[in-house]
A and B are shown apart, each in its own frame.
Chain A
Amino acid sequence: MEKQDLLADYRTMVLIRSFEEHCQQQYTRARIGGFLHLYVGQEAVAVGAIGALKAQDHLVTHYRDHGHALARGLEPKPLMAELFGRSTGTGKGKGGSMHFADKNKNFWGGYAIVGAHLLLAMGIAYSIKYKREVLGQADQDGVVMCFFGDGATNGGEFYEAVSMAALYKLPIVFLCENNEFAMGTPLSVHTSVTEIHKKASPFMPGERVNGNDVEEMRARALYAVNHARTEGPYFLEAMTYRLRGHSAADPQMYRTRDDINARRSGDPIALLKQKLIDQNLLTEKQAKQIDKEVEKEMDVVVQFAEESPAPDLSEAWTEIYSKPL
């Protein structure tokens, strides 16, 4: 990987972290409502994996979708505006935290029924193949990357998705972010197969990767995407750890502060920073400068959201159908 790539990835990860911290802050100030699931600690998975996608590839994800949106290159302003419930948001203030999307970037959105979106991702992959083989659209060589958590691998929809993706040899990468908890239920309590990639092994090749190492994540994602493009579905299990609660209002009874502190050594941003410093690609001073720039950008982002108008009340009645009768 080139020097510039890693530095850019570092900056994106810092941006995601800062975005999330500002979200938490705005949530506690009651500017953001509903549920708020933060991505703090998992940044390397999104930045590493989504960086392996090309423009024509597709991204489908779960409700903890802020990091994926930013890693896919969505502007932070409309995302924050969506969280504030403003008309300038990605969903015009109708979707909220769990439903970011941008059709123009083939980012098909965050979905909030755990496990269900694997089937939509499989369907999108099916349509790519259909367009290429039945409609004769040779340029249809996109790959779908579908994110989900370890908690999503126990329901029937997971098995329906991997089974049918394999049956139809679809161009799809299933990417499980194993952060060791299904909301508050520990991995060993919710599944007997704790090496999640093995659950899909009868259907497709796969592997476990270090999701806190953005370099390893990128390398394996590139492999997986290439496999999906040329041969069929591939499964990645990215090991990571969520450093904040399941949602902004999580008392975290299922783990102690010491548990979390013990895992801070795996903080992907700290790890990458040290690596860049060791390789003389970054100095402490430059790192501080990046932090400062990102903070400044976030102030503008929050201000944009705050100053954006709330949706007009008539918006409640639009887009129920795309063709009203």
Chain B
Amino acid sequence: MAKKLEMPKMGYDMVEGTLAKWLKKPGDEVSRGEPIAEVETDKVTIEIEAFEAGTILKFLVNEGETVPVGAPIAEIDDGSGDDEAEAANASVTPSSDAPAVGEGGEAAPPAPAVVAQPEKVEATPAASAPATSTGRLFATPAARGLAEQRGVDLAGLKGSGPDGRIVKADVLAAAVAPKAAPAATPAAAPAAAQAAPVASPVPAPVGLIFAPPAPNSVYTEEPLSRLRQTAAKRMVESQQQVPPFFVTSTIEMDAIQALLPKLREAHGGKLSVTELLLKACAIALKKFPALNSTFAGDKLLVHKDVHISVAVATDAGLLAPVVRNCDSLSLGAISNQMRDVIGRTRDGKAGLDDLQGGTFTVSNLGMFDVTNFIAIITPPQSAILAVGSTIATPVVRDGEIVIRQLMNVTVSADHRATDGASVAQFLVELKNLLQNPFKLLL
């Protein structure tokens, strides 16, 4: 049977070795313990021994070549008479004499088992230190902690330590002093805030608050379309007015993936996971209508139909065309309608009707290799489903480790309209539907 001789470890710190010289040639008999090659490490040259007696079948590494510890360097037939293996080897051996490296790919030795890869270094954005023209304020950690606790502004203090260092005693003195100085500080702050936009070259759109860039920063100006300005306003409104909460669930997509090709065949056109998601959401939303509602102060407006907005990235920005009546349409009909409206949206031909009237949103970033994400609710809707990529993952099932296609979904929901338990139940239903996809076909 052919056995592999590996690059040996010849010292506690050896990670690779250079095959300096073969002391035998293919076809030679070797006995156990007989030197077979010389190996150079970064320190010494050492003879290495055959650990199996037998016949050298072929060399896998050329003289002068460096390979990691453990990489196979030669094959030795131990004479145990495993016919099958020997027959297999016989077919490989003929041209084994000194294979050329780098030329004639077939003859090249197998790649070493371990290939060193440069570590991927992620660039971290440089921390933008608050640039103040006055420089660093020297205060001891104890002084800083106490100032925060007592609401004392360190900037207004004169330090009694060496070089004006603010120490704990200074903060204590300020904290018991009359409130005159602290009172002046809040008054000054808004004035500064108002001054900033005036000094900035960027005109402020009405109703949007933003921080101007630092005075000396370099940038180009890119005007935003009305669409993006509106979207920006909506997002701010959502964050300011809607108290969101988030619930995540993991769904096994193996059944869906098995079913998809057959569905496509039956449908006779394009069909993706998104349509299945829409259908599943529609069925689940009918069971948990609070997620398909609009909060209206003293009442909840529960929508009768399920119109699902589908987030689509377009040249003009993020848009969400609406697929109507998902609850009552078949998969095929949903798919046709969705592809139609998305096509119009991408072409810039979508009308207001195409983009308004959604009662729930699905945002699928699965194609971008994201594990999961959290989406912002678009009022007047009460909930949005964020869908991550489907990833093959080892999981434990019945005490065994098996590979499953897992997809994470996260619901962001308006806590004024619904609650955690309802969303959790909605997700259980969604999971049940997607893991048993025949229910989507009924």
A residues sitting closer than 8 Å to B (CB atoms) are: 21, 25, 27-30, 33-35, 248-251
Contacts and interface: CB of A to CB of B under 8 A. Distances in A.
A27 B45 contact: no
Given A29-B6, A249-B11, A249-B12, 15 more contacts: A21-B33, A27-B8, A28-B8, A29-B9, A29-B70, A30-B70, A33-B12, A34-B12, A248-B10, A248-B11, A249-B10, A249-B14, A249-B46, A250-B46, A251-B46
A251 B48 CA distance: 10
Contacts of B14: 249
A33 to B, nearest CB: 6
Contacts of B51: 25, 28
A4 B51 CA distance: 32
A29 B44 contact: no
11 contacts: A21-B33, A28-B9, A28-B10, A28-B48, A28-B51, A29-B6, A29-B70, A34-B12, A35-B12, A249-B10, A249-B11
Interface in B35-88: 44-46, 48, 51, 69-70
Interface string B113-155: 0000000000000000000000000000000000000000000
Contacts, number: 32
A25 B12 CA distance: 14
A27 B8 CA distance: 8
Nearest to B52: A25
Contacts of A27: 8-9
B355 to A, nearest CB: 56
Given A249-B10, A249-B14, A30 B69 contact: yes
A250 B45 CA distance: 9
Interface in B1-39: 6, 8-12, 14, 33
Contacts of A33: 12
Contacts of B12: 33-35, 249
Interface size grouping (class) on chain B: 10 to 19
Nearest to A29: B6
Contacts of A249: 10-12, 14, 44, 46
Nearest to A25: B51
A25 B44 CA distance: 19
Q: Which of B6, B11, B44, B48 has the most CB of A within 10 A?
A: B11
Contacts of B10: 28, 248-249
Interface of B: 6, 8-12, 14, 33, 44-46, 48, 51, 69-70
A250 B47 CA distance: 10
A48 B70 CA distance: 38
Contacts of B70: 29-30
Contacts of A28: 6, 8-10, 48, 51
A21 B33 CA distance: 9
A29 B33 CA distance: 15
B45 A251 contact: yes
A29 B51 CA distance: 11
A31 to B, nearest CB: 9
Contacts of B8: 27-29
B17 to A, nearest CB: 10
Q: Which of A33, A34, A248 has the most CB of B within 10 A?
A: A248
Contacts of B45: 251
A211 B81 CA distance: 42
Contacts of A251: 44-46
A35 B46 CA distance: 16
A98 to B, nearest CB: 12
Nearest to B70: A30
A289 to B, nearest CB: 18
Nearest to B35: A257
A250 B41 CA distance: 12
A21 B11 CA distance: 16
Q: Which of B8, B9, B44 has the most CB of A within 10 A?
A: B9
Nearest to B44: A251
A30 B17 CA distance: 13
A51 to B, nearest CB: 28
B340 to A, nearest CB: 58
A25 B51 CA distance: 7
Q: Across chains A and B, which 10 residue pairs bring their CB atoms closest together, nearest first?
A: A28-B8, A249-B11, A251-B44, A30-B9, A249-B10, A34-B12, A251-B46, A25-B51, A30-B69, A28-B9
Contacts of B44: 249, 251
Contacts of A250: 46
A249 B43 CA distance: 10
A30 B69 CA distance: 8
B369 to A, nearest CB: 32
B209 to A, nearest CB: 51
B304 to A, nearest CB: 59
A248 to B, nearest CB: 7
Q: Which of A25, A34, A250, A251 has the most CB of B within 10 A?
A: A251
Contacts of B9: 27-30
A36 to B, nearest CB: 9
A134 B38 CA distance: 61
Nearest to B12: A34
A177 to B, nearest CB: 23
A153 to B, nearest CB: 27
Contacts of B6: 28-29
A113 to B, nearest CB: 18
A284 to B, nearest CB: 18
Nearest to B8: A28
Nearest to A32: B9
A29 B46 CA distance: 15
B242 to A, nearest CB: 45
A29 B70 CA distance: 6
Nearest to A35: B12
Nearest to B5: A28
Nearest to B41: A249
Contacts of B48: 28
A257 to B, nearest CB: 8
B437 to A, nearest CB: 42
